[in-house]
Each structure stands twice: as structure tokens, then as C-alpha cells.
């Protein structure tokens, strides 16, 4: 539960910086990775 809060705070912080495109790419990569794991 705590890690989720930390991730949310980090995400919000990153979204307020100039690294927004990097965050978007990272989220897309993570979602694809999770889909691959679930498909296996």
C-alpha cells in the first residue's frame, strides 16, 4: 500500500517536470510488460 502511494507521488512529480514524454513511454512499456506476463 505504501509503495503505491510513493509511486503516485513520484508519477505526479514527474508529470510536473519536463520528463513527461519519458513518463508516458515508461507507462506504455510497463503496461505492455504486464500484458505479456498475464498472457503467459
Structure confidence at residue 19 (pLDDT): 66
Q: Residue-wise pLDDT tens for the chain (40 aa)?
A: 678 888 887 877 766 766 677 778 888 898 888 887 776 6
Structure confidence at residue 24 (pLDDT): 81
Name which of 12, 38, 34 is nearest 23 in CA terms.
12
pTM of the model: 0.41
CA distances from 14 to 6, 8, 9 (A): 12, 10, 9
Domain that holds residue 7: 2-39
Structure confidence at residue 13 (pLDDT): 74
Domain count, the chain: 1
Structure confidence at residue 15 (pLDDT): 66
Amino acid at each position: 500500500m505504501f509503495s503505491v502511494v510513493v509511486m503516485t507521488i513520484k508519477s505526479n512529480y514527474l508529470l510536473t517536470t519536463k520528463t513527461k514524454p519519458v513518463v508516458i513511454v515508461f507507462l506504455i512499456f510497463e503496461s505492455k510488460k504486464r500484458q505479456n506476463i498475464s498472457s503467459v
